[in-house]
Amino acid sequence: MEFSLLGAAAIGVGVLYAVLWWEAKRGNAAACTKDLWDLALGSAAAGLVVGRLATMIGNGVNPAAHLGDIIIVRAGVDTGWASLTALAVLSFMGRGEIRAVADGLAAAVLAGLAGWHGSCLFRDACLGTPSDLPWATSLDGSTVTRHPTEIYAALGFLAIAALLLAWKLRPPTLGLVGATALAAAGAIRLVTEPLRPALGGRPNLWYAAAIIAGAGSAMVLTARARRTRGKAPLRENGTRDRAP
């Protein structure tokens, strides 16, 4: 069954919207004035297009001469360029409130990625490298059992999204949820990437960079929050009481 890029994107975007709607109904939306849905849709669309174009160009295909291939999954999407573009567009559109925006979108985006990977069920593209594990399956007509790699990724993203939703019920330091989501997404990609069939150079450095950036930001935010809590409020004359 041919399943277009638009179909996979529709599932991912639908899940993302459902989570944003669910959070908003429960008063768990971001503490910002920007429309999270518009930000998510715009950055995801930009990332998807750039990631697809990067894959086509990397495979020696001229996008201008094969416009239809931009929306048809034949060689995938370069997740490194797609993620970098989406983050850049999101940072630009959410400037001034990027930490609140990141927190508000974190769980929804990870759930959307779970939907994207789970769409493999509709195009028979879930399997990766050979495996003898009990849950490994094989393609039709093949005796070689393989890891359901895309299902691993979908379950990983879904689990982290659920944890972030629970965490946000008691809001942590502003920006910490978004930073944690970035590090977790990089870790899931880094773990599942070796289980995918090799189609050229692996973008492992992209995912390692996401882990470092997310974890580093989380540590900086946590340390800054601790220093702030340790300071006594200023008096009217500008002096500060000693912290107990």
> pLDDT tens for residues 183-195?
999 999 999 988 9
Per-residue pLDDT, 92 = 92
- Place 29 in a pLDDT band, splitting at 50, 70 and 90: low
Q: Each residue of 184-228: pLDDT tens digit?
A: 999 999 999 889 876 555 667 888 999 999 999 999 999 998 888
Q: How many domains does the chain have?
A: 1
| E runs forming strands in 64-200 | 137-138, 145-146
Please report whether residue 82 resides in a domain. Answer: yes
| Axis crossing angle, helix 5-25 with helix 149-167, rounded to the nearest 10 | 20
Q: 177 near 168, Cβ under 8 Å?
A: yes
Please report whether residue 235 resides in a domain. Answer: no
Please report whether residue 31 resides in a domain. Answer: yes
The fraction of the chain above a pLDDT of 90, given in percent, is 43
Q: d(Cα 98, Cα 48) in Å, to the nearest integer?
A: 21
Please report whether residue 116 resides in a domain. Answer: yes
- What DSSP state is assigned to residue 240? B
Q: Each residue of 125-153: pLDDT tens digit?
A: 899 999 999 999 998 888 899 999 999 99
Torsion on CA atoms 104, 4, 64, 201, rounded to nearest 10: 70
Please report whether residue 237 resides in a domain. Answer: no
**Domain range enclosing 10:** 5-229
| E runs forming strands in the chain | 137-138, 145-146
Please report whether residue 144 resides in a domain. Answer: yes
How many whole angstroms from its chain centre is CA 143? 34
- Residue 138 bridge partners (DSSP): 145
Please report whether residue 243 resides in a domain. Answer: no
Q: d(Cα 230, Cα 12) in Å, to the nearest integer?
A: 42
